[in-house]
Amino acid sequence: MTPEDFPLLAGFKNDVEFELIGGGRPPKPTSLEDYKDFHERFIVKGDAINFVMVADGRVIGDCGLFNRDLVAGTAELGIGIGVHDYWSRGFGREAIGLLTDYGFRMLNLRRIWLEVKAPNERGIRCYRACGFVEEGRLRQHIWSDGRYVDLVHMGLLRDEWTGPAR
Ligand SMILES: CC(C)(COP(=O)(O)OP(=O)(O)OC[C@H]1O[C@@H](n2cnc3c(N)ncnc32)[C@H](O)[C@@H]1OP(=O)(O)O)[C@@H](O)C(=O)NCCC(=O)NCCS
C-alpha cells in the first residue's frame, strides 16, 4: 500500500453497502484527511501489515494483519474488496491464502483470528474455505442497518493450517 492508494481506499469507506456488510461501526463520511489519520494511527502506529489487492491491473481492496501480539504469536486478519464486481470470484480466498502463508511462515504467528458479522455469509464461507473455524459468537453485539446482529469470532491455528485454499 502506498499513499497513492489512499483516495481509492477512502472511497471504499464511503460506500455504505460495503461498510454495512464488512465494517464494525456505523458508516460515516470519510475524507481523505480522515483516511490518512486512520492509516497513521491504526496501520503505522499499530504496527499493522497491510497490502492492497490488485486484479486486472487495478486495486480492488486491501487486507492485512493487525493487533499483533508478539508474545502470544497472534494477529487479527482484516480484508475488504471495495469493488463489488470482484466479490465472489475467489479473490478473497486467494488473498487470505497469501496472508496466512505470510503470517505463519514469515512472521512465525501461531494463531490468526478475525471478527465477522453473522449476516456476512459470503465472508464466513470464504473464511471457512481458508480453514478458519467459528470459535465464539457475541450475540446481538452490533447495531447494523436497523437491527442487532451477532458478531462471529473465527480463528485458525498454525497446526491446523494446510496451506492456501484452492
Ligand atoms: C468478504 C470478502 C473478503 C470475501 O472475498 P470474496 O472474493 O468475495 O470471497 P470468495 O469468492 O473467495 O468466496 C466467497 C464464498 O461465498 C459464497 N457466496 C457468495 N455470495 C454469497 C451469499 N450471498 N451468501 C452465501 N454465500 C455466498 C461464494 O459462492 C463463495 O463460496 P464457494 O467458493 O464455496 O462457492 C469480500 O466479499 C468482501 O470484501 N466483501 C465486502 C466487505 C467484507 O465483507 N469484508 C469482510 C469483513 S469481515
Q: What is the pLDDT of residues 113-152, one digit of tens each?
A: 999 999 999 999 999 999 999 999 999 999 999 999 999 9
Angle, helices 91-101/121-129, rounded to nearest 10 degrees: 50
Name the residue of 53, 65, 122, 130 to mutate for ligand 1: max ligand atoms within 8 A of Cβ: 122
112 CB under 6 A from ligand 1? Answer: no
Q: How far is the CA of 122 from the centre of ligand 1 (A)?
A: 3
Centroid of ligand 1 to alpha carbon of 156 (angstroms): 18
Span 43-53, pLDDT tens digits: 888 889 999 99
Cβ of 105 closer than 6 Å to ligand 1, yes or no, is no
Say if residue 144 is exposed, middle or buried (CB neighbours under 10 Å; 0-12, 13-18, 19+): buried
**Are the CB atoms for 55 and 87 separated by under 8 Å?**
no
Q: Please give the torsion angle defined by the CA atoms of residues 107, 111, 114 and 119, in that order, rounded to the nearest 10 degrees.
A: 140
The verdict on the CB of residue 120 being under 6 Å from ligand 1 is yes
If you measure from the C-alpha of residue 71 to the centroid of ligand 1, how many angstroms do you get, rounded to a whole number? 32
pTM of the model: 0.95
Gap between the Cα atoms of 106 and 122, Å rounded? 28
pLDDT value, residue 166: 60
Give the best-scoring range by mean pLDDT among 16-30, 36-50, 59-73.
Answer: 59-73
Cα end-to-end distance, the chain, whole Å = 25
CA distances to 15, 100, 118, 159 from 54, in Å: 19, 17, 27, 29
CA of 60 to the centre of ligand 1 (A): 14
Those residues whose C-beta lies under 8 Å from the C-beta of residue 140, and which sit 6 or more positions away, are 148, 149, 150
Conformation bin of residue 89: beta by default, left when phi > 0, alpha when psi is -120 to 50: alpha
pLDDT of 2: 93
Residue in the structure block whose three cell numbers are 512465525: 108
Q: Which atom of ligand 1 is nearest to the CA of 116?
A: 48
